[in-house]
Amino acid sequence: MTGVVALVTGANRGIGQAFVEELLEQGARVYAGSRDPAAVQTPGAIPVGLDITDPAQVAAAAAGCADVNLLVNNAGLFTKQRLVLPEDPEAARAEMEVNYFGTLAMTRAFAPVLAANGGGQIINVLSVAAIVPTAFMGGYSPAKAATLFLSGITRAELEPQGTKVTALIVGSVDTRMADHVDGRKEDPRDIARAGLKAAAKGELTFDTDWMAVDARARLARDPVRYERGLGRLVHRAALRTGRE
């Protein structure tokens, strides 16, 4: 990572913080974007106040981090709401604003920055919910699916300037966002390490962990059964919480 100058969004905890730590350990210079820059506690990181849904802050980040050649779009929002029968009808819109439109805004703002620095690379941190309709993840699943398509379109549009794009399909990770998930969870540093290796190899879409690989295999073997199984989980969760 010598010579790499990275900006990581959502860098104050979870997978974002893990990317910051891993990049620093491998010798990169790292800007750590967060809505609250004071929450960035990683020694060596350069805190940047950044709400990716705020056009002024996105523009300021692009102007102030003009040496970036690696953009890690990690910031995300999961509201734990249903999509069609939610308690908060605005939750899905908020998830789309952060996970899709925020990532799009960052990509648009930093495309010329990356071009000026030799092309560079973009890593989009996605989810198993991007490759299969995940009912218990409400508006998050369609937002991540949209961002998977965004990754491919970005790759095509920015190919002439030499920008590479890697989309990471991430399973269950030991973060606050996955505190509702039972069972095995991956260490965020392992996800960051796998993601950086995948990007270095030029992978287009990469499954970062066992759950992501297993989900893709199940989907390939029997997509109807797998999707219905995920759908049933939303009802089991509702029964546990007394909502049904």
pLDDT tens for residues 71-130? 999 999 999 999 999 999 999 999 999 999 999 999 999 999 999 999 999 999 999 999
Q: Which of 31, 100, 140, 226 is catalytic?
A: 140
pLDDT at residue 244 tops 70 = no
Catalytic, 140? Answer yes
**Residue 116 pLDDT:** 98
Which CATH architecture fits 5-241? 3-Layer(aba) Sandwich (3.40)
What are the tens digits of pLDDT across the range 138-178? Answer: 999 999 999 999 999 999 999 999 999 999 999 887 655 55
Average pLDDT of the chain? Answer: 92
**Of the listed ranges 17-31, 145-159, 167-181, 200-214, the one predicted with least confidence:** 167-181
Contacts 24+ apart (CB under 8 A), 210-219: 210/171, 210/184, 210/186, 211/128, 211/171, 211/172, 211/184, 211/186, 212/128, 212/169, 212/170, 212/171, 214/171, 215/128, 215/131, 215/132, 215/171, 216/131, 216/169, 219/131, 219/132
- Global pTM value: 0.91
